[in-house]
Amino acid sequence: MPFLGQDWRSPGWRWVKTEDGWKRCEPFSPTLEDGSNQLNDISHTVIITGDDENEEVYNTEDCEFAAKKRKKDHFRNNTDSQCFYREKWIYVHKESTKERHGYCTLGEAFNRLDFSSAIQDIRRFNYVVKLLQLIAKSQLTSLSGAAQKNYFNILDKIVQKVMEDQYNPRLIKDLLQDLSSTLCILIRGVGKSVLVGNINIWICRLETILLWQQQLKNLQMNKQVNNGLTLSDLPLHMLNNILYRFSDGWDIITLGQVTPTLYMLSEDRQLWKKLCQYHFAEKQFCRHLIPSEKGHIDWKLMYFALQKYYPIKEQYGDTLHFCRHCSILFWKDTGHPCTASDPNTCLMPVSPQHFIDLFKF
């Protein structure tokens, strides 16, 4: 049953004193004042023209309703003014209490935590992309309509950032591939039963994803002109130390394609052995030993073979943290209002998968 009437929890009406007495008015945001001055000046009646021939006269109550609807449509149609909460932390409650009604959902947390600004931080970029990829694989239908719209708005900003900065396009290609596969299954299979909104909207979103994929496929990396010291000028031991800092095998292969020297260093057996030992337990790679032609263990093939069976360790420059004492999810560098005597002992880093698991009931 729809709720009719003014919400009793609202702050109340705003009144303005005029020559004719006090009049009730609607507060408008500064972004709407320029384009909606005619709505602010309305006092008693307004003429709204639907067609050239038919005109209807509305009283004050109808005028206020029309003004609210026009304001709502303005925000709905203007993507630039679609702003969600910009909070750095959120209280995660899984059941109703006297103080809080309902529970925190994945979509609410996704909307209220400021992921739009997080993608501008190089430390958090990979974290947000990985979270979007996990949502695309299994949790897209669990998001609310507003959260789904926010999801694609953030994804649009990520693609534009990659096109401009050319930062980690391979990661975004994997995300778009998983998202397009999920949407194809949902649209062709169950369709309207799980997708929020008109099915044509999702078809348009799928076409947008295909367009993004084509843009990334045609992306040309700009060659930077630098007359100073280059990567090839570094000594061999420094180049070797750089390769040992990588935690992703594909990054090692990509860097090895730059110069013949880097290719030689990237094929080092000891390098791939350390990488296998970092990501996988001894029992895991003992089950999938792959000997080379010379009888030695091919650690490079071992790494990619084990990657198919076991998850690799994830490394991020900055992640969300969860306070076990306050049940608050937050970015660590911004902090949160903790009441514990020693807050550092209550903190727990939250991986993208753990973020999703927090909201499974």
State how far the Cα of 332 lies from the Cα of 127, in Å rounded to an integer.
14
| Residue 317, pLDDT score | 83
C-alpha 155, offset from chain centre: 7
Question: Measured between alpha carbons, how far is 115 from 180 in angstroms, rounded to an integer?
Answer: 21
pLDDT in tens, 90-119: 888 766 666 555 567 888 888 888 888 888
For position 193, what pLDDT does the model report?
57
CA-based angle 205:154:310, to the nearest 5? 90
Instruction: Give strand pairing partners of 14.
Output: 25
Q: Give residue 185's pLDDT.
A: 83
pLDDT digits (tens, 9 = 90+) for 172-214: 999 999 999 988 888 776 545 567 777 788 888 889 999 999 9
Strand residue runs (E) in the chain: 14-18, 21-25, 46-49, 55-58, 89-91, 320-323, 328-331, 347-350
48 DSSP β-pair partners: 56
Q: Where are the domains of the chain?
A: 106-218, 248-309
* Bridge partner list, 277: none
DSSP 230-281: -GGGS-HHHHHHHHHT---HHHHHHHHTT-HHHHHHHT-HHHHHHHHHHHS-
Q: How high is the pLDDT of residue 327? A: 85
Cα 33 to Cα 136: distance, rounded to the nearest angstrom? 38
pLDDT tens-digit profile, the chain (361 residues): 444 445 555 556 677 778 777 777 654 444 434 444 443 443 333 333 344 444 444 344 444 554 555 444 444 544 443 444 556 788 887 666 665 555 678 888 888 888 888 888 888 899 999 999 999 988 888 888 888 889 999 999 999 999 888 888 888 999 999 999 988 888 776 545 567 777 788 888 889 999 999 998 888 776 665 667 777 788 899 999 999 988 888 889 988 988 889 999 999 989 998 998 888 888 877 777 777 667 678 888 888 888 888 888 888 888 898 988 888 888 887 778 888 888 888 888 888 988 888 887 6
Q: What is the pLDDT of residues 208-248, one digit of tens each?
A: 999 999 998 888 776 665 667 777 788 899 999 999 988 88
Q: Which of 80, 141, 142, 87 is nearest to 111 (CA)?
A: 87
- Predicted TM-score (pTM) of the model is 0.66
Task: Report how far residue 89's alpha carbon sits from residue 323's, in angstroms, rounded to the nearest whole number.
Answer: 10
